Amino acid sequence: MATIAAGLIAGLFYAYACSVMPGLARGDDKTFVEGMRGINVAIVNGWFMLSFLGAPLLAAAAGLLHLRSGPTLWWIVAAFGCLVAMLVITGVVNIPLNNALEAGRDSYAELRERFEASWVRWNVLRAVVSSAGFGCLVGALVSR
């Protein structure tokens, strides 16, 4: 289950990097800001939270179940570290940017200017570390 959850969250951040953000980038400032505001509200749902929080929690549980499994444990520990990094990036960077975008009362151009480049850059890092976490869990399955 940890591998599935990690694959889902890595795929989500990858999809943002490859399609959602480039698609929104094509719009004008109002379309971009209002689109992101809508996405930020819609994404806070049970299905998202299952994979977002579930991936690192399930990786931790897998680690506990494989404490004496040698190489498998090390793959799981690496996966857990990557998935925790994804949570930290989200909590420290992406969520505060989302909140600032939601609360902002400046012009759409000013809001977008303060949001877009930074959010996209950190999302790419989230995609990389969550994909690495997924890959490590696959490595654990193969080593088992």
Instruction: Tell me the per-residue pLDDT of 73-115, one tens digit each, with 9 for 90 and over.
Output: 999 999 999 999 999 999 999 999 999 999 999 999 999 999 9
Residues of the chain below pLDDT 50: none
What 83-88 contacts at long range (C-beta under 8 Å, 24+ apart), as own/partner pairs, is: 83/6, 83/9, 83/55, 83/56, 83/59, 83/129, 83/130, 83/133, 84/56, 85/129, 86/9, 86/13, 86/55, 86/56, 86/126, 86/129, 86/130, 86/133, 87/52, 87/53, 87/56
What's residue 20's pLDDT? 98
**The two structure tokens encoding residue 70:** 């040698």
- Full domain range(s) for residue 58: 2-143
What's residue 129's pLDDT? 98
What's residue 144's pLDDT? 81
What's residue 96's pLDDT? 98
Ramachandran region, residue 70 (left: φ > 0; alpha: ψ -120 to 50; beta: rest) = left
What's residue 29's pLDDT? 98
Specify the number of domains making up the chain.
1
- pTM of this structure: 0.94
What's residue 68's pLDDT? 87
Secondary structure tally for the chain: helices H, strands E: 7, 0
